[in-house]
Structure 1
């Protein structure tokens, strides 16, 4: 099977199709690997989004969806820790988006990414009432989670976060868990833990690192995780592990919704607590002020950011791959890997991912397994493995 099944069509300019809204720039816990605080410029921003900025943001959202006649416009509330913004502000924001939807016909799905520590009955009611999807940061079992995700006093946060996750699962709320891979531990530790919590949708994300760093190898971990995903999905209910399912989809020639998988432009727009507009927030791992622009929601429309030089540079870098990537047989499926992982001080984004060798090994393993596991049926009814079917042509 060729991993290069279908080259992407020419990348067309299109309006911003989703927003990442930073409603808080501070956090209530101290995660050692957090990309957000690698950039000291976050401390120059207001701690919380004000009522004035919120009202202007809502005006811009309605202008944007009306101007481009959008059918849907997803918004993710983010931080820091977004629940520091307060439950009343969440109600206010969700009700305003519901009103915009009724006036424009555009669906505005709202999601939040939270560490979960503050979740209580009031938050559960808010999420359930407004159909707010929740991604909770939970690095699997306590012995892995508490290595990096600790309080400012140095104590682990796992007990509080696991409690929040179980409360969410028990309500009518769309829940996804977000873990960061620690390759020192086998993937079964994560998979068994999430199964025990009743969480069937989660991701185990590749740790953030630039080319100037030397992160440990991840290929063995993800190859093992792929085997577990295959086994889990032979039964019901099915388990969704985002990184794995998106890599498989990309190998089969389908578009992946994940920014770090597939050859496609990264066109995220981030609105900060003061109303300034930036590119993808994870690009902060490149250093201080690296995402800063001169645009804001008071002087500019949301889609104006597409003309901002630093935003355009990040967008262009996401699809203009280095020479090694352009020659790779997994180029379309991989897309060069996650954009922040391609950054170096010397060459900017003109590098293979710091995880290039691992990604190649992961895609190679997946392709070999899929060739054995997927079948096609000939017109005469004969059933062949995909590998045999391709070999016969």
Structure 2
């Protein structure tokens, strides 16, 4: 993940970069320089060569990455592809808030073979709860216009879909229907970042309530029961895959090792950027592209911990019957002062309720087909 721009043109008040514990963005250069890009490309090439990587995925991120503009983004992608050509396959994507996705920008991204993901939190009400400009002005119409632009025939091949952060104050069914109306290829629901010390909105850690599961379960049922799936939903598909005995997933679930590093605009390596929800400097590694190979990150205990799967979890998680699916939840969400990251997720009750519901629905569906979840896992 390359932080090509450290500033943003929106002021989403739940943003882990600007509004949570770590404020290191203030000291970062506004944009990644050509020198930093060249050094980053060299480190990726070195890593691909040493480990014989068949493919590398590069996500342009921020802040708002499109603030870098077509000329700068073109130089960044060109330098990366030039250095990695013949060495490994390169897939480049960008995650954007969508407000700069006009026709010229969409054409540039498609011409450069850059896949485009957009962030939107649902209908106008849900989105404008938090995703506004600094002066409070709505971003909704501009984002929806950007999505419509990416759905045009000449651009849709590079439209990856939407990321939607769950807003408990919004009606989940209205959010679901509004997202389906946009006719996007994929979407995913993200949990707001928080820790046991600084819990997410609406949670009192340790109580029995499951507000986030209660929000997501009706959407899973609508999706699961549809005669034809209207859209791919990454969270639901990942949890079904893991429940059936699969291993591959994204970083929020499962016990697989994490294969992600963040490069900040100054070239410093960081752990997954959601670690900024934990504390000032929690994502920092003290290493960077100008001095260190990527393998140097394995000297850091928290990086190594994220590769250990079951062995990295606390006793309560290891004893849980859904641990192979849950995986302890997202790493930063486990943090608690004094015990670090060996705790269950601050979302433990929600994850348990959501996953066990999905597994019950899956078991019922398999029984109607004359088999069982246990039989599928055994095979």
| 1:65 and 2:65 matched | no
Task: Tell whether the 8 Å contact from 1:168 to 1:175 is kept in structure 2 after alignment.
Answer: no
Aligned to 1:150: 132
Task: Tell whether the 8 Å contact from 2:125 to 2:170 is kept in structure 1 after alignment.
Answer: no
Residue deviations 1:42-89 (CA, integer Å, cap 9, x gap): 211111111111111122222222222211000111111111122112
| 1:45 and 2:28 matched | yes
Cα deviation, residue 99, structure 1 = 2.7
Residue deviations 1:271-296 (CA, integer Å, cap 9, x gap): 11111111111111001111222211
Task: Tell whether the 8 Å contact from 2:98 to 2:142 is kept in structure 1 after alignment.
Answer: yes
The answer for unaligned runs of 5 or more in structure 1 is 1-19, 377-382
Aligned to 1:36: 17
Residues 268 and 301 of structure 1: CA distance in aligned 2, closer, same or farther (over 3 Å): same
| 1:361 and 2:353 matched | yes
Segment drifting more, 189-198 vs 240-249? 189-198
Task: Tell whether the 8 Å contact from 1:318 to 1:339 is kept in structure 2 after alignment.
Answer: no
Aligned to 2:79: 96
Task: Tell whether the 8 Å contact from 2:123 to 2:178 is kept in structure 1 after alignment.
Answer: yes
State how 1:225-374 maps to structure 2 within 5 Å. 225-232=219-226, 234-235=227-228, 238-313=230-305, 315=307, 320-374=312-366
Aligned to 1:174: 159
Among 21, 27, 31, the alignment partner of 2:8 is 27
TM-score (ref. length: structure 2): 0.90
| 1:200 and 2:185 matched | yes
Secondary structure at 1:219 match in 2: helix
Residue deviations 1:354-392 (CA, integer Å, cap 9, x gap): 11111111111111111111258xxxxxx51427979xx
Residues 368 and 125 of structure 1: CA distance in aligned 2, closer, same or farther (over 3 Å): same
Task: Tell whether the 8 Å contact from 1:261 to 1:338 is kept in structure 2 after alignment.
Answer: yes
Secondary structure at 1:287 match in 2: coil
Residues 82 and 59 of structure 1: CA distance in aligned 2, closer, same or farther (over 3 Å): same
Residues 74 and 214 of structure 1: CA distance in aligned 2, closer, same or farther (over 3 Å): closer
Cα deviation, residue 193, structure 1 = 1.2
Count how many residue pairs are aligned between Structure 1 and Structure 2: 362
Residue deviations 1:286-339 (CA, integer Å, cap 9, x gap): 011112222111111122222235533555588511111111100111101111
Aligned to 1:5: none
- How large is the Cα RMSD of the aligned pairs? 2.1
Mapped to 2, the partners of 1:315 and 1:278 lie a distance apart of: 16
Residues 249 and 313 of structure 1: CA distance in aligned 2, closer, same or farther (over 3 Å): closer
Residues 101 and 276 of structure 1: CA distance in aligned 2, closer, same or farther (over 3 Å): closer
Residues 389 and 291 of structure 1: CA distance in aligned 2, closer, same or farther (over 3 Å): closer
Task: Tell whether the 8 Å contact from 1:169 to 1:175 is kept in structure 2 after alignment.
Answer: no
Mapped to 2, the partners of 1:271 and 1:318 lie a distance apart of: 27
Secondary structure at 2:239 match in 1: helix
The answer for unaligned runs of 5 or more in structure 2 is 203-210
Mapped to 2, the partners of 1:240 and 1:169 lie a distance apart of: 16
Mapped to 2, the partners of 1:83 and 1:318 lie a distance apart of: 38
Mapped to 1, the partners of 2:28 and 2:305 lie a distance apart of: 23
Mapped to 2, the partners of 1:48 and 1:318 lie a distance apart of: 38
